[in-house]
A and B are shown apart, each in its own frame.
Chain A
Amino acid sequence: MSSDTVLGTAERLRATLPKDFGDGVVSSIYQDADRITRHSVSTHGEQGRPALDQVLDRALTHRVWGFVVMGALFFGVFWFTITGAAVPSDLLYDLLVANGHAWVRDGFTAVGAPWWVTGLVVDGMYLGTAWVIAVMLPPMAIFFPLFTLLEDFGYLPRVAFNLDRLYARAGAHGKQALTMMMGFGCNAAGVTATRIIDSPRERLIAIITNNFSICNGRWPTLILMSTVFVGALAPPGVAGLVAAGTVVTVAVLGIVTTLVVSWFLSRTVLRGETSVYSLELPPYRPPQVMRTIYTSLIDRTLKVLVRAVVMAAPAGAVIWLLSNVTVGDSSLAAHAVSALDASGWLLGLNGIVLLAYVVAIPANEIIIPTILMLTLTLGPVVAPGASAGVMLDVPDATAGAVLIGAGGWTLLTAVNLMLFSMLHNPCSTTMLTIWRETRSVKWTATATFLPLGLACLVTASTAAVWRAFS
């Protein structure tokens, strides 16, 4: 075999060479590069790094200010998102859900569509989609451009630099901080980004824990819960600040979970050496504001929204069917919810939330709309006589009013929904990506059920403690 002779020769010749002969090759190329550079480049003005970069790094990685600025920046992003999204969200709600639904429904009735067509299309698909747009579009249209501006500026590697020691302690790769931050956009993207991690062991840790980075499908849930339930407890003047603080707290809890789970994995099933790496800190670059806003709206916001809509329409149809196909004395949805209610109570949630999570496995984006629609059709305090699967005539049927009024939600439900959302299993796209990257059923299952188990454990404990003290 020709390949064997070549490899055989290579092996024989290798034995004749000094062990580190490769070093000589590498450094001679570098010397050449050095020589060419000296002959072709002339520098005017002061040499070395730009003074502004040095000052910025001094502040952004400062012993005290580094973390203060980091907290303030992320807090600012969320505060801006929450306060900025409030008004447009209400407008979209009025337009698409409160009025639009009635208009579309009237239109269908006017052309004489059969009741089940109107139900499936208008009360199912249209309504699901309308909720998704009203709840998700405004915060996403603010959050992504802001986040992308930070990314463009060169801030993300500094976060990795600041947090590196924590990752080292957890037995994880330093670049996991970067993949974690990619996960803040989308977990599937975060999982793919783990390819920058060389060692398979550390890469698996990064893949499994990426789920704890709150992705764009889950930000709206957190934002809504914080605004409606936590922010509302504070005086109106500071409600936005409190809500933003809550979102940041949950996100930080996610980072803490990432570290704890990484630590656990690297000391149990994924034991091994921590590999060293070197992170390059790029120069700060003034972001191109308009271009960044434009591309992040198109590439991130719109992409996420389209995906959500694509998922929401069929999910809306499924919900409508579940609520309208009756077996025995009540609908399928009602059966499912009452079956799930006990476990829901145990987790400090309710049957509707659990059913919504089953329906919403394909995409986290549609959790809130699913919950809203199910609550509207089956909520415990629903007035008798309301027809199943049809929007109730709640006068102020904004999300908060629906959940508190029709759903009987409390602060505990909201807090546990946030915790569950932060911890629970990855969405179907992410699972598929994990499988594609690992080609292993075992690790895909681990990455799915470990978070799910953790979510149940944490919410059940919170609920138990909460109830013991109140």
Chain B
Amino acid sequence: MKLDELRRTERAVVTGLDAQGAERRRLMDLGVMPGVEIVAEGTSPLGDPTAYLVRGSVIALRRCQARGIDVDDGAHR
């Protein structure tokens, strides 16, 4: 599934990134890379972006970014 499908307080493990180039590198610098655990913390009042907890920091990602991140929430295992 994609990261933007994750609902508040749900947690999942990142399995892949679609982004390329500078954006991909930026996400990886923040620690968003395969194998890392990520928790959805809450969405902006206007519906976008959403805040995610990753490696102890809260980072806001817009939906278009979250859609490019594959995650596994354990439900399919």
Q: Which residues of A contact B (CB under 8 A)?
A: 22-23, 26-27, 30, 48-49, 54, 57-58, 61-64, 66-67, 161-166, 168, 174, 275-283
Inter-subunit contact B59/A164 (CB<8 Å)? no
Is the beta-carbon distance between B28 and A280 smaller than 8 angstroms?
no
Assess whether B27 is in contact with A278, with CB atoms less than 8 Å apart.
yes
B27: chain A residues at CB < 8 Å are 278
**Chain A nearest Cβ from B3, distance in angstroms:** 12
B13 within 8 A of A: no
Looking at A162, A168, A281, which has the most chain B CB atoms within 10 Å of its CB?
A281
B65 to chain A, nearest CB (A): 5
B15-27 CB contact bits vs A (8 Å, 1 = yes)? 0000000011111
Closest to B45 in A: A66
13 residue pairs bridging A and B, Cβ less than 8 Å apart: A57-B41, A61-B44, A64-B45, A161-B60, A162-B45, A162-B46, A165-B49, A275-B23, A278-B59, A279-B49, A280-B30, A280-B59, A281-B51
Let me know if B45 and A279 touch, CB within 8 A.
no
A23 touches B28 (CB 8 A): yes
Asked if B46 and A49 make an inter-chain contact with CB atoms under 8 angstroms apart, the answer reads no
| B28 adjacent to A27 (CB under 8 Å) | yes
A174 contacts B25, C-beta separation under 8 Å? no
Whether A276 touches B65, Cβ cut-off 8 Å, given contacts A27-B33, A30-B31, A48-B53, is yes
Q: Given A26-B28, A174-B62, A280-B59, A62–B45 Cβ distance below 8 Å?
A: yes
Once the chains are docked, how many angstroms separate the CA of A278 from the CA of B27? Answer: 8
- Indicate which residue in A54, A67, A280, A283 contacts B45 across the interface (CB closer than 8 Å): A67
Interchain CB contact under 8 A, A26 and B64: no
CB neighbours (8 Å) of B59 from chain A are 278-281
Taking CB as reference atom, which chain B residue is nearest A19?
A: B20
Is A280's CB under 8 angstroms from B46's CB? Answer: no
Closest chain B CB from A236 CB (angstroms): 36
Q: Which residues 1-50 of B have a CB within 8 angstroms of A?
A: 23-31, 33-34, 39, 41-49
Contact of A63 among B23, B28, B45 (CB under 8 A): B45
